[in-house]
């Protein structure tokens, strides 16, 4: 079970582990439309929650680069490559991981971008160089993006969301101390694990992450607007309200 009681049907093994690892439950090629979406927006705007909702209802797989780094973090140090250990040091500070490391990690997972079930990219691309490389990987437009969803929220609301966020280390469910508290303080509703605050959700990291967003990621709004695929969605309100707005914006 995950976030809001959704059943997570897909394991995303090929994405989380990379290389030749296969998914146990790969998404079937849908009879209708194949969705290839990029979710853009500042950290804490709710991209991950929206990706989960969209994935459960549109069928495409939720591909989060942050989840790949967090999965590597939970391995023993001996199992983590030096490049990945380097990436994790950037992540801990709230800094962006350098493009070369991110792009090498994506290249190992390129087949997820060509999956018949489509994809929901969350947290990638985050720089113009990454966006250019994504275009190359998708064959310069041969595999077109359906849309780039730009979730928009004022900065003070973003900081409040991030600093109150608490995560379950086991099932990854996400709570908020004020707006989405667990039934028992500090404990996951779904699996009873003790909730924790992500290292990069601490105030000093939040400041670094917001600065990195402004400098490196915000220019992607213009990048995708010029290419005619940008769809801006106001990210105020409950996850369900934002989700309904997203479906409307996509005419889905
Ligand atoms: P997220 O869960 O998407 O907020 O990602 C958590 C952290 O992982 C970020 O603060 C970065 O340190 C790192 N990260 C994830 N995706 C990228 C990316 N595409 N480029 C650079 N750093 C990334």
Q: What is the DSSP string of 34-64?
A: PPEEEEEE-TTSSHHHHHHHHHHHH--EEEE
CA distances from 179 to 142, 149, 176, 186, 198 (A): 42, 24, 5, 14, 17
- Ligand 1 near 41 CB (within 6 A): no
Active site residue 57: no
Rg (CA), the chain: 17
Active site residue 47: yes
- Ligand 1 near 43 CB (within 6 A): yes
Cα dihedral value 47, 48, 51, 55, nearest 10: 180
Residue 196: half-sphere exposure toward Cβ, Cα within 13 Å: 9
Q: Are strands 165-167 and 174-176 parallel, antiparallel or unpaired?
A: antiparallel
pLDDT at position 24 is 75
The answer to whether residues 12 and 61 touch, using CB atoms and an 8 Å cutoff, is yes
> Ligand 1 centroid vs 91 CA: distance in angstroms?
7
Average of pLDDT values for 178-196? 95
> Ligand 1 centroid vs 184 CA: distance in angstroms?
30
Is pLDDT of 45 > 60? Answer: yes
Share of the chain above pLDDT 90, in %: 57
Single out the residue of 142, 140, 179, 184 nearest to residue 163, CA to CA: 179
pLDDT at position 10 is 60
Single out the residue of 160, 220, 170, 210 nearest to residue 192, CA to CA: 170
Q: What is the pLDDT of residues 125-141, one digit of tens each?
A: 999 999 999 999 998 87
CA distances from 123 to 177, 211, 247 (A): 24, 15, 20
Residue with the larger pLDDT of the pair 28 and 112: 112
Q: Burial-class residue 228 by CB neighbours within 10 Å (0-12, 13-18, 19+).
A: exposed
- Altogether, the residues listed in the chain come to a count of 252
CA distances from 190 to 5, 54, 112, 194 (A): 8, 21, 29, 11
pLDDT at position 200 is 85
Which is catalytic among the residues 73, 198, 202, 247?
198
Record the pTM.
Answer: 0.86
pLDDT at position 30 is 72
pLDDT at position 7 is 37
Q: What is the pLDDT of residues 61-102, one digit of tens each?
A: 999 999 999 888 877 777 778 888 899 999 888 899 999 999
């Amino acid at each position: 079970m995950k976030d809001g009681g959704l059943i997570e049907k897909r394991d995303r093994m090929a994405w989380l582990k990379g290389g030749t690892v296969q998914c146990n439950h790969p998404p079937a090629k849908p009879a209708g439309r194949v969705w290839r979406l990029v979710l853009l927006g500042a950290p804490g705007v709710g991209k991950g929650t929206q990706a989960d909702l969209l994935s459960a209802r549109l069928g495409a797989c939720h591909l989060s680069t942050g989840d790949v780094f967090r999965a590597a973090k939970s391995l023993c140090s001996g199992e983590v490559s030096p490049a990945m250990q380097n990436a994790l040091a950037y992540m801990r500070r709230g800094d962006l991981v350098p493009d070369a490391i991110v792009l090498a990690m994506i290249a190992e997972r390129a087949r997820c971008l060509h999956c018949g079930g489509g994809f929901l990219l969350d947290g990638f691309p985050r720089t113009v160089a990454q966006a250019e490389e994504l275009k190359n990987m998708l064959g310069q437009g041969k595999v077109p993006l359906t849309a780039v969803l730009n979730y928009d929220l004022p900065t003070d609301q973003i900081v409040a969301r991030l600093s109150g966020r608490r995560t379950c280390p086991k099932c990854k469910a996400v709570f908020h101390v004020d707006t989405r508290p667990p039934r028992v303080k500090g404990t996951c509703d779904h699996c009873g694990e003790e909730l924790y605050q992500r290292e990069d959700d601490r105030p000093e990291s939040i400041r670094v992450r917001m600065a990195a967003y402004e400098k490196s990621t915000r220019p992607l709004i213009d990048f995708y607007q010029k290419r005619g695929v940008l769809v801006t969605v106001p990210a105020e309100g409950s996850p369900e309200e934002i989700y309904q707005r997203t479906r409307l914006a996509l005419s889905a």
